[in-house]
Amino acid sequence: MIAAEQPERNHSVQPSSDELSLGDRRYVTLVLRLVVDGIGHLKHGEVVDVEGHSRGRFASWRGLARVLAAELAAQQTPRRAAPGEI
């Protein structure tokens, strides 16, 4: 039995305006350190950057959201280049 060839489908999708500005985006990597009890309930935690520096501590999921919002807001502020840095 010979398999019939399926016609190629054109699945092209026009990129949205958000996708066109990928150069304006960057990745932010943060690490969550969580302490949970024996049944998996959050006790407290900390958000750290990739170098291990604390970016904030929290004791609830709402607190985690506040820490993340504050960190992302801080990252939106343009950083000045250090002397000799391009």
Q: How far is CA 56 from CA 13, 31, 38, 71, 74, in A?
A: 40, 11, 24, 8, 12
* DSSP 8-class letter at 56: E
Q: pLDDT of the chain along its 86 residues, tens only?
A: 445 555 555 555 555 555 556 567 788 899 999 999 999 999 999 999 999 999 999 999 999 999 999 999 988 866 655 566 55
Tell me whether residue 41 is in a domain: yes
68: containing domain: 27-76
Tell me whether residue 35 is in a domain: yes
Tell me whether residue 11 is in a domain: no
* Number of domains making up the chain: 1
Tell me whether residue 21 is in a domain: no
- pTM of the entire predicted model: 0.61
Tell me whether residue 19 is in a domain: no
Q: What is the pLDDT of residue 75?
A: 85
Confirm if 30 and 71 have CB atoms less than 8 A apart: yes
